[in-house]
Amino acid sequence: MVLQILFIAITLAAIALFSFNLKKVIRNIRIGKAADRTDQPQKRFMTMVKVALGQTKMFFRPIPAFLHLIVYAGFIIINIEVLEIMIDGIFGTHRIFGGLGPIYNFLIGSFEILALGVWLGCAVFLIRRNVIKLKRFSGVEMTSWPRSDANYILITEILLMTAFLIMNAADAKLQAMGASHYTLAGSFPVSQHLANLLPNSEGALMAIERGCWWFHIIGILAFLNYLPYSKHFHILFAFPNTYFSNLEPKGEFTNMQSVTNEVKAMLDPSFSPPEAEPGKFGAKDVNDLSWVNLMNAYTCTECGRCTSVCPANITGKLLSPRKIMMDTRDRLEEVGKNIDKTGNGFDDGKSLIDSYISREEIWACTSCNACTDACPINIDPLAIITELRRYAVMEESQAPASINAMLGNIENNGAPWKYSPADRLNWAKES
């Protein structure tokens, strides 16, 4: 009874803490400006199913895609087991679904095979990161925390799967010994091979079985609460992120309505612009970005596919689309903490541009959309870069001199170069 109460208390505390942190994250995302992404719900839903659930964009790189699929499927499906653990934990039962007989045996058998798959997949991932040291996992933004974060996630998953398999091995051994409370249930295609490693005394086996059971469930609850601090948040955010992703052609940049009103008023004096809230053009800080940009930042799992295809990054420039996303999240977290401490209006003198993302980075972008195409969950670093450029150009008039010259040419003679508009048709006349 004490254990049941303890179990319920731990579970409720974990869920409460997670809800508290999730609410904070959602509050942070809402710092962003409005953006309408509610059109075409059917197409949005299908995009989510294909891209997030079906992981279609992962398969551009088949090896990690295959391993990722196993870890993903394993992790999700094995969590059906968590349902049983929950019921057992609350009611003090043992393997409550055991009565399902052959179905139960099939389920537990499949979970075991998947668990082994997850174990091996995570092991290969660790080797790719720490032994082979794939280039994609390095870069200026991959400082010690992001690297550790990735390793913590993989090691935790390995530990959880290990606990699950040892628990089953001990359980099976206890079942065979006819220990009371351990009814015959389940099939153990993987863990049966671990039986010989375990002691033979009933007391020790029960300690191991209970120990692993508690470790498994507390591990999962702890992992859940780790998510808001980690890049691993993508396991949840991949779904809303793909649902609300950009459905327009990638080449299309948004037209700024605030500018449209002003330009219309300039071209047509009789036009009276609708009342609009005064705001700045483009983004200086995270609160100038849209909530979609900010959700993108929380969704990024720092895989680096964007950076590995970025022409600027490939040729040694400072720009890394992954860094854009990581900086946005870090800055947003900082702004969130400022709000926690001192309320809304607090100015810490920092901003996303300059304090986090440098001018050199934003001006190195060719807007080629390789990053947005490469992202397996439709994150859009280019949208953030564009907003930062808009701020630099329209609010500060701070663009590279050659860009200013180009803009001046368009303004004065309708072409980015210094040619006379009167000569525009000369190509048809001379050779």
Partner 1 sequence: MSEQLNFEVPTMAEMIAKGEEPEILFWVGCAGSYDERAQKTTRDICKILHHVGIKYAVLGTEESCTGDPAKRAGNEFLFQMQAMTNIEVLNGYNIKKIVTGCPHCFNTIKNEYPGLGGSYDVIHHTQLIQDLINDGKLKAEGGESFKGKKITYHDPCYLGRGNDVYEAPRKALEVLDAQLVEMKRCKSNGLCCGAGGAQMFKEPEKGNKDINIERIEEALDTQPQVIAASCPFCMTMLSDGVKMKDQDKNVQVLDIAEITARANGL
Q: Are 70 and 118 in contact (CB under 8 A)?
A: yes
Amino acid at position 363, single letter: W
Site string for partner 1, 51-90 (x = CB under 8 A): ---------x------------------------------
Subset of residues 209 to 268 that bind partner 1, contact rule: CB under 8 A: 248-253, 255-256, 259-260, 262-264, 266-267
Contact residue for partner 1 among 315, 341, 343, 347 (CB under 8 A):
315
- Nearer residue to partner 1 within complex by CB, 32 or 282: 282
Work out whether 394 is an interface residue with partner 1 (CB under 8 A): yes
- Nearer residue to partner 1 within complex by CB, 79 or 366: 366
Using the rule CB under 8 A, give the single segment among 72-80, 153-161, 183-191, 315-323 that binds partner 1.
315-323
Cα dist from 292 to 265, 330, 378, 382, 403, whole Å = 30, 16, 11, 12, 29
Site string for partner 1, 412-431 (x = CB under 8 A): --xxxx-x-xxxxxxxx--x
Site string for partner 1, 274-313 (x = CB under 8 A): -------xx--------------------------x-xx-
Q: Is 357 helix (H, G, I), strand (E, B) or coil?
A: strand
Work out whether 403 is an interface residue with partner 1 (CB under 8 A): yes
Kindly compute the dihedral angle of the four CA atoms of residues 303, 305, 307, 310, in this order, to the nearest 10 degrees. Answer: -170
- Nearer residue to partner 1 within complex by CB, 45 or 253: 253
Q: What are the φ and ψ backbone dihedral angles of 189, each rounded to 5 degrees?
A: -60, -30
Work out whether 360 is an interface residue with partner 1 (CB under 8 A): yes
Cα dist from 113 to 82, 189, 231, 270, whole Å = 16, 7, 27, 72
Q: Are 170 and 92 in contact (CB under 8 A)?
A: no
> What is the smallest separation between the CB atom of 129 and partner 1, expressed in angstroms?
24
> What is the smallest separation between the CB atom of 393 and partner 1, expressed in angstroms?
4
Residue that the structure tokens 């190509």 belong to: 427
Q: Are 300 and 326 in contact (CB under 8 A)?
A: yes
Contact residue for partner 1 among 317, 334, 337, 350 (CB under 8 A):
317
What is the Cα–Cα distance from 163 to 359, expressed in whole angstroms? Answer: 49
User: Does residue 282 come out as left (phi exceeding 0), alpha (psi in the -120 to 50 range) or beta?
Assistant: left
State both tokens at 287: 């609160």
| Interface contacts to partner 1, rule CB under 8 A | 60, 248-253, 255-256, 259-260, 262-264, 266-267, 281-282, 309, 311-312, 314-319, 360, 363-370, 373, 386, 388-394, 399-400, 402-403, 405-407, 410-411, 414-417, 419, 421-428, 431
